[in-house]
Structure 1
Amino acid sequence: MTQLSAAQRIPRSRPRLRSTWLYRPGTDLLIAWSWLPFYAVTALVASAGTADAVVVAILGWVLAISLLHQPLTLLLVYGDSGQFRAHRRLFVWGPIVAVGLIGATAVLGLWVLVLPIAAAWQVFHTQQQRYGLLRIYGRKAGYGSPRLDRAMCYLPLAAVTALVVALPAASDQLHRFAAGIGSDNASKLDQLFAARGTILLLLVPLVVAALVAVGLYLRQERAACRAGEANPAKWNYLLASAALLAGLVVNPVAGLVAYVAAHALEYILVVDRTLAARYGRSSPPSSLLGVLAGTTVRRNLLLAGFFLVLALVNVELRGTIPATAYLVIIYVVGLLHFGYDAVIWKARRPAVAAEFGVRPAAPG
């Protein structure tokens, strides 16, 4: 019998995995799971069946939070001269073009075209934000596939959306709580339910595609574990995303509240951390935001004051100007938010990459 050498007798230890967070564990957990209290409260109240007005109020407040987070993009752009100079032409002409487009839509009465496009773009924008965070987790750990990350952001959501539309409970809840999401949003969902037959035909292919994406992702993570590259911090974010999708199936109205809240709160938290990283340094401030957000106290006061002023302006506008004019303002701000975000958060930019602690992606 051959005697084993000492090296052969010692079992090979697995590489030790290290969590690489976006910021700190507490902040990342808050980013991933901030939607959970909204879901729990809404599901609890909705299940009672006797407090529909409370659910409607929750929907209204969450949509207000979603509305108020959008102008943060304008603060980041127009409050920093360096940011503004980087894309001066876009930031000068953007508002003019947006007002022209949305104003023409209002004059021509084309809201029926704008509403579904805006709804689809909102979902795309939300998922792109989640995709961006997922990519940063992977890049901080030094592994991952952009295609797989994108597939994980879109295919499971598409499958869950088709499944929810196929469930009678979702349609019932829409009619129960339509007042809370507004007539425009309710009409968008009505259009979705009207296409139930087509969506049912797509359900099986979408579920299969989602399962394939999940399987490929699990294989990627298993390989990363063996190589000692896997990032458990990313798993936390993926788990929270999966739980949110499961919540949509179990209770669609609570899931909708959580989905909207998750996007807005994620954005607010990332902006807060960005302000701290970008302007909370000892060097002399070189922009307005450098003065207003240079310390923790000033940054907190800035954000609190910003949201308070926006809330008051929003209430005043809704009560004093025509509904069409109000919608024009809302959609102009939303369009600028979507367009500017696609530019200012690109991790290919060295400054953005540095704030997240990753190397800029190679061009091409």
Structure 2
Amino acid sequence: TIATGAMMSASPASAVSPTPIATETEEAGWLESARFDTLFIVWVAALALVSGLIVVAYPSLLVPVILADLWLLGYHHVIATYTRLTFDGESFREHRFMVLVLPWIVLAGTVAAAYFIGTWLVATVYLYWQWFHYTRQSYGIARVYMKKADATPEQTNLAIWSMYLVPAFGILYRSIQPGATFLTMPVKKLPVLLHEFLHIPQPLADSGLQIATAIAAVLAFLSLGGWALTQLTALRTSPKQSALALYLVSHHLIFLAGYFFIANIDHGWLVINIWHNAQYILFVWWFNAKKFDKGVSTKQYFLSWLSQKSMLNIACYFGFTLVLSTAVYLAIILLMGMPPLAAIPAASIVTFQAINFHHYIVDGLIWKVRKKKIQTAMGLAAEVAH
């Protein structure tokens, strides 16, 4: 497969001696190699955009495409997090609270929100929290590329401004669009929330958000222009900027497509969700492969063996995590169909959103690039500012 071929492009020996692949990776600022990073950046973005175009052209395909996304990528990417939490004794001991206690706290909070306020609150939190989660994940990956590229402070600041302003404009634009549902779930967007909770007259809330969206649009495109000029200048002087530039272009394209260019909120969500899920699965594989690039660890045997870069190990890694995610989520789906849960209309929404919310919290804690332990595993020489 493309994924297998891309991942096979770097061998463990590259961490020991200056092979051509290692030199190529350093010169262009790739995470792993040109082949892997092309898959990670270009092909993942292309998959997301093409999927979005398909459902825009053929809306009747939305449900089957979403189901394929959830099975192959969405559930899989949640389970990928557990390779960091539970696949060896050391990781489990370190993250015991996140695995055994936090899920129940999040579930209790989600149930309480749905019971005392309504399922609209759960869906609304999901709409805005997933936007923040997607933005932060992309920002974290970009920080790794910035480190690889030896980006200057000026270039870094402009890139960060654009990385946040474009998504901010996108979510504001979605918020002022008409409609009170998201993936068939009832939601209350920002203008309605301002009216109901801050008692701002609805016309004033609507016009205020429209003005804020217009300002955000101007700032977003100005920041894009500033970043583009700085990035082009950097590319002329340093080939190490290539991967960073490519990644940031994909970030902006995906967020603009997902939140602005595609009119339907569900179709737009599909684009950014596929991108986020596939990107995360590959990034976690790369992290684990990088962490164990010197060979199989006796203390973390199972995960370190799965994370080796031979074709067999790669097939076993993705095969095992996909089978595991399928089994876990199939069990949850079957449980939701059994009494008394089957008689509770909101049970599925609450359960799956609680899983998502737990995932968001955990990811925000375990993937801090500024942590020296994470930098060491990623092969970054010095601390990345945050």
Corresponding position of 2:242 = 232
Query: 5+ residue gaps in structure 2?
Result: 1-25, 193-204
Q: 2-side partners of 1:90 and 1:303: how far apart? A: 19
Corresponding position of 1:191 = 189
Please point out which of 142, 156, 167 is paired with 2:166.
Answer: 156
- Partners of 1:224 and 1:230 within 8 A in 2: no
Relative distance call for 1:41 and 1:107 in structure 2 (3 A) is closer
Greater CA drift, 114-123 or 263-272: 114-123
Identity of aligned residues (%): 20
- Partners of 2:75 and 2:325 within 8 A in 1: no
* Matched residue type, 1:182: L
What per-residue deviation string (whole Å, max 9, x for no partner) do you get for residues 100-124 of structure 1? 3234334434433333223211111
Deviation at 1:229, TM superposition (A): 7.2
| Secondary structure in structure 2 of the residue aligned to 1:79 | coil
Please point out which of 138, 141, 155 is paired with 2:146.
Answer: 138
RMSD of Structure 2 on Structure 1 (CA): 3.3
Taking structure 1 as the reference length, the TM-score comes to: 0.77
Deviation at 1:267, TM superposition (A): 0.5
- Partners of 2:28 and 2:243 within 8 A in 1: yes
Deviation at 1:238, TM superposition (A): 1.6
| Secondary structure in structure 1 of the residue aligned to 2:29 | coil
Answer yes or no: is 1:342 the counterpart of 2:342: no
* Matched residue type, 1:247: A
* Matched residue type, 2:39: L
Greater CA drift, 331-340 or 124-133: 331-340
Corresponding position of 1:252 = 263
- Partners of 2:86 and 2:92 within 8 A in 1: yes
Q: 2-side partners of 1:229 and 1:53: how far apart? A: 44
Corresponding position of 1:269 = 282
Deviation at 1:309, TM superposition (A): 1.5
Deviation at 1:28, TM superposition (A): 1.7
- Partners of 1:71 and 1:333 within 8 A in 2: no
Q: 1-side partners of 2:239 and 2:351: how far apart? A: 47
Deviation at 1:279, TM superposition (A): 4.2
Equivalenced residue count is: 333
Answer yes or no: is 1:56 the counterpart of 2:71: no
Corresponding position of 1:10 = none
Which structure is richer in relative contact order (CA contacts within 8 A, separation 6 or more)? 1
Corresponding position of 2:5 = none
Relative distance call for 1:148 and 1:271 in structure 2 (3 A) is same
Taking structure 2 as the reference length, the TM-score comes to: 0.73
Deviation at 1:222, TM superposition (A): 4.9
Pairing of 1:1-364 with structure 2 (within 5 A): 18-33=27-42, 34-47=44-57, 51-63=58-70, 65-145=73-153, 147-163=157-173, 182-184=183-185, 187-188=186-187, 191=189, 197-222=207-232, 224-225=234-235, 228=238, 231-248=241-258, 249-253=260-264, 254-279=267-292, 281-287=294-300, 288-290=302-304, 293=307, 295-320=313-338, 321-322=341-342, 323-361=345-383
* Matched residue type, 2:184: S
Q: 1-side partners of 2:358 and 2:191: how far apart? A: 29
What per-residue deviation string (whole Å, max 9, x for no partner) do you get for residues 7-62 of structure 1? xxxxxxxxxx9411112222222222314234324424533xxx432233323443
Relative distance call for 1:229 and 1:85 in structure 2 (3 A) is farther
